[in-house]
């Protein structure tokens, strides 16, 4: 029996046991393209969704549309969601609040390894004439639309690299078989081996629509404060647990 248990543990990596949904990392992303629209939101709404001990200074949200045409193990997919600028023990970073994407492997891998809050939906990022356009649909229903003037001004690439390399935080939750939490952890990760190929600023606008299962509008847009367009290669670093809510 002991040998059987050890054999399972040695072979086990991810679900399903005999045919995992994704390979082991690290995971490299080539030509990863971001449209990031920053906006101010309602501070009380932000407090309701931000887990302690993370804190925020200004009620700002970064809404992201991301094209990933070449990612190791995960393939070609698009993603959209919200990242909240936060501080943790005096260090600035970002808390990933919501993510919606159109590919099963990164949904499974992102949730199981790091705790990314991933759900299935249909995002897109493309250029229409002189405008960069990001959309998010859940089935037939529009959830978000973001637009930005195409490459109006170049950004300092060192500043872009600093932004991309800042720590990011996730709330990883894995239920027990009785639906009580088995794992409840605050996870920190970083994007590494960065090759920033371009960064641009321009005028931006963002519309969010209420939806029962993709409620990005629960953090409503009060004021758009900036829009960025970034192209980079990077490696998605594996995480570390910085706070365990089960032992707190």
Instruction: Give the per-residue pLDDT at 5.
Output: 61
- pLDDT, one tens digit per residue, over 71-119 is 999 999 999 999 999 999 999 999 999 999 999 999 999 999 999 999 9
pTM metric for this prediction: 0.95
- pLDDT, one tens digit per residue, over 210-237 is 999 999 999 999 999 999 999 999 999 9
Instruction: Give the per-residue pLDDT at 200.
Output: 98
Domain boundaries in the chain? Answer: 25-244
pLDDT surpasses 80 at 147: yes
Is 128 buried (19+), middle (13-18) or exposed (0-12) by CB count in 10 A?
Answer: exposed
Candidate from 17-26, 45-54, 88-97 with smallest mean pLDDT: 17-26
Instruction: Give the per-residue pLDDT at 190.
Output: 97
Instruction: Name beta bridge partners: 152.
Output: none
What's the CATH architecture for 25-244? Beta Barrel (2.40)
Q: For residues 190 and 168, is the Cβ–Cβ distance under 8 A?
A: yes
Instruction: Give the per-residue pLDDT at 4.
Output: 64
> Could you tell me where the DSSP H helices lie in 86-191?
104-109, 157-165
Instruction: Give the per-residue pLDDT at 224.
Output: 98
By three-state DSSP, how is residue 167 classified? coil
The average pLDDT across 4-20 equals 85
Catalytic (active-site) positions: 118
The average pLDDT across 35-44 equals 98
**What one-character-per-residue DSSP string does 83-104 give?**
EEEEEETTEEEEEEEEEEES-H
Identify the residue whose tokens are 């990005």. 216
When pLDDT is cut at 50, 70 and 90, the band that residue 2 belongs to is low
pLDDT surpasses 90 at 132: yes
Instruction: Give the per-residue pLDDT at 10.
Output: 86
């Amino acid at each position: 029996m002991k040998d059987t248990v050890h054999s399972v543990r040695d072979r086990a990596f991810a679900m399903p046991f005999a045919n995992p949904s994704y390979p082991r990392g690290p995971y490299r992303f080539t030509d990863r393209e971001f449209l990031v629209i920053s906006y101010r939101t309602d501070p009380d709404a932000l407090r309701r969704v931000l887990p302690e001990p993370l804190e925020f200074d200004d009620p700002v949200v970064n809404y992201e549309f991301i094209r990933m045409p070449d990612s190791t193990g995960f393939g070609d997919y698009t993603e959209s969601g919200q990242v909240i600028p936060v501080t943790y023990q005096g260090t600035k970073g970002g808390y990933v609040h919501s993510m919606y994407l159109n590919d099963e492997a990164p949904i499974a891998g992102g949730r199981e390894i790091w705790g990314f809050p991933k759900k299935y939906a249909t995002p897109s990022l493309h250029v229409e004439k002189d405008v960069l356009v990001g959309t998010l649909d859940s089935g037939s229903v529009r959830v978000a639309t973001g637009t930005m003037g195409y490459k109006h001004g170049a950004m300092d690439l060192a500043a872009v690299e600093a932004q991309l390399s800042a720590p990011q935080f996730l709330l990883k939750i894995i239920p027990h078989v009785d639906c009580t939490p088995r794992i409840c952890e605050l996870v920190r990760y970083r994007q590494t081996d960065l090759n920033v190929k371009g960064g641009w600023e321009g005028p931006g606008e963002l519309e969010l629509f209420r939806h029962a299962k993709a409620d990005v509008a629960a953090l409503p847009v009060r004021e758009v404060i900036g829009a960025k367009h970034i192209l980079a290669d990077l490696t998605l670093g594996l995480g570390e647990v910085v706070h365990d809510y089960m032992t707190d």
